[in-house]
Amino acid sequence: MPQLTRRDLNRSLMIASAGALLPRLAAAQDATPEAAPAGEAIVSAKRDEWTAAYKETVTLTAPEGPGGTYLDAGVSDIQSLQPFLAEEAETLGVVGLIFEQLVGNDPETGKPAPNGLADYWEIAADGRTYTFHLNENAKWHDGEPVTADDVVFSFDALADEATGSVYTSIFLDAVESWKAIDEHTVEMVAKERRFDFLYSLTAFIVPKHIWGEVPFAEWATDPGATGDDPARVVGSGPFMFGEWKQGESVTLTRYDDYYGEVPYLEQYTRVIWPDQDAVFNAFLNGELDVTSLEPAQVPQIEGVEGVTMFEYPTRGFTYLEFNLDPEVTTMFEDKRVRQAMMYALDRQSIVDDILLGYAEVANGPQPVVSYAYAPDEMTTKYGFDPEKAKALLEEAGWTDSDGDGIVDKDGVAMSFEYLYPSGSPTGDQIAAYVQDAWKAVGIDAQPRSLEFPALIEATTTDPTYSVAAYGFSWDATFIQDAMFGCAQYQVGFNDMRYCNPPLDEINAEAKVTFDDAARRDLLIEASNIVNEELPVLVLHFSKALGAAHDRVQNIAPNTWGGIPFNYRWIKE
pLDDT tens per residue, range 383-413:
999 999 999 999 999 999 999 999 999 999 9
Beta carbons within 8 Å of 400's beta carbon, 6+ residues apart: 406, 407, 408, 442
Residue percentage of the chain with pLDDT more than 90: 84
For 248, other C-beta atoms within 10 Å of its C-beta total 12
Q: At 467, is the pLDDT very low, low, confident or very high (cuts 50, 70, 90)?
A: very high
The closest alpha carbon to 195, from 487, 504, 475, 6, belongs to: 475
The rounded distance, in Å, linking the Cα atoms of 442 and 94 is 43
CATH code for the part of the protein at 5-269+551-571: 3.40.190.10
User: Which of 49-63, 201-215, 357-371, 543-557 has the weakest average pLDDT?
Assistant: 49-63
Strand pairing report for 467-473 and 415-421: parallel
- With 70 as the cut, is the pLDDT of residue 2 above it? no
DSSP SS3 for 4? coil
- Kindly tell me the sign of the dihedral angle through the C-alpha atoms of 144, 148, 151, 153: negative
- Kindly tell me the sign of the dihedral angle through the C-alpha atoms of 323, 328, 331, 333: positive
- With 90 as the cut, is the pLDDT of residue 38 above it? no
Homologous superfamily, domain 316-543: Dipeptide-binding Protein; Domain 3 (3.10.105.10)
For 468, other C-beta atoms within 10 Å of its C-beta total 26
User: What does pLDDT average to over the chain?
Assistant: 92
The rounded distance, in Å, linking the Cα atoms of 72 and 13 is 10
Q: At what angle do helices 516-533 and 501-511 cross, to 10 degrees?
A: 160
Query: Can you spell out the DSSP letters for 477-522?
Result: T---HHHH-GGGBTTSSBTT----HHHHHHHHHHHT---HHHHHHH
pTM: 0.93
Q: At 563, is the pLDDT very low, low, confident or very high (cuts 50, 70, 90)?
A: confident
The closest alpha carbon to 243, from 98, 449, 345, belongs to: 98
The rounded distance, in Å, linking the Cα atoms of 199 and 116 is 13
Q: At what angle do helices 425-439 and 276-284 cross, to 10 degrees?
A: 150
Domain with CATH 3.10.105.10 in the chain: 316-543
Quote the pLDDT of residue 25: 27
Quote the pLDDT of residue 21: 27
Domain with CATH 3.40.190.10 in the chain: 5-269+551-571
Q: At 1, is the pLDDT very low, low, confident or very high (cuts 50, 70, 90)?
A: very low
DSSP SS3 for 150? helix
Kind and range of the H or E run holding 145:
none
Beta carbons within 8 Å of 310's beta carbon, 6+ residues apart: 14, 544, 545, 546, 547, 548, 555, 557
- Residue pair 108/560 in contact by the 8 Å Cβ criterion: yes
Comparison of pLDDT for 108 and 436, the residue scoring more: 436
Comparison of pLDDT for 550 and 569, the residue scoring more: 550
Quote the pLDDT of residue 556: 85
How does pLDDT run across 468-508, given as a tens digit for each residue? 999 999 999 999 999 999 999 988 999 999 999 999 999 99
The rounded distance, in Å, linking the Cα atoms of 142 and 26 is 27
The rounded distance, in Å, linking the Cα atoms of 52 and 556 is 18
